[in-house]
Structure 1
Amino acid sequence: MGSGGYSSQDEKKYIEFMKQIMNQEFPKGHYVVNGFTDFNVLADGDSEQGKRYEIKAKIEFKVNDSK
């Protein structure tokens, strides 16, 4: 199952869209998904010095038919 979220204050159209996504039913269209994470990796048990990583990704895809 897919993931997503909405609140009762969101527009009805958005809620219906999110329900489709959560059921892995992507409506026809062009999608752009942006992701970002950052974290530190400690080296050799050193609890104060670590290497910081920042990863960004952009994925684009098209859905021509949702069936």
Structure 2
Amino acid sequence: MQQQHKSKLMRLSWQIQRRRKCNRSKSLVSAWAIYLNEDITVYHLVRKHSPERYTGRIDTHSLTLF
């Protein structure tokens, strides 16, 4: 794994740990799951935060989390 990806993963896990008040290993596992399932996470975020009439028009392949 590249250094840049590791730093993004660690930053995300620190944010999860602070906001959810969970231990370090649980937050790191959560960050790793988000990182591995990035395409699914983006799809669900777009569906959640877009009005229903725009959901079909948005190209989720061009969106990324990181």
Give the TM-score taking structure 1 as reference length. Answer: 0.28
Higher relative contact order (CA 8 A, sep 6+): 1
Give 1 or 2: higher strand fraction.
Answer: 1
Whichever structure has more helix as a proportion of its residues is: 2
**Is the radius of gyration larger for structure 1 or structure 2?**
1
